[in-house]
Amino acid sequence: MLSIAADEAHVLNLCTAPGHEGRGLGRRMLQALLKIARGHGAQRVFLEVRPSNRRAIELYQRSGFNEIGRRPRYYPAVGGREDAIVMAMELLPD
């Protein structure tokens, strides 16, 4: 899921069906979202991810996202709340 407003896009959700991870689907879905964002004139893309979600963080870093900040206590978690890492990337024209 992707939202686009003005020149900014936000990845709201990215999910590979359980049992199908690790086959390149997440990377392809993310590339498809970035292409859609570019096509709508977005110049940068943002997302939030749990610090505990190493697999997603790896995917985002390898795709060109960088950490730009944290949102404290953003996510519900077992026994409390978990911060969100905020990541962003600038979109260059194709």
Distances (CA, A) of 7 to 23, 64, 87: 31, 18, 16
With CB atoms as reference, the residue minimizing the distance to ligand COA is 26
Does 75 qualify as catalytic in the annotation? no
Nearer residue to ligand COA within complex by CB, 7 or 21: 21
Nearer to ligand COA, 3 or 41 (CB): 3
Distance (Å, rounded) from C-alpha 87 to C-alpha 27? 16
Can 60 be counted among the known catalytic residues? yes
CA distance 74 to 48: 9
Catalytic residue among 8, 21, 58, 60: 60
Active site residues: 48, 60
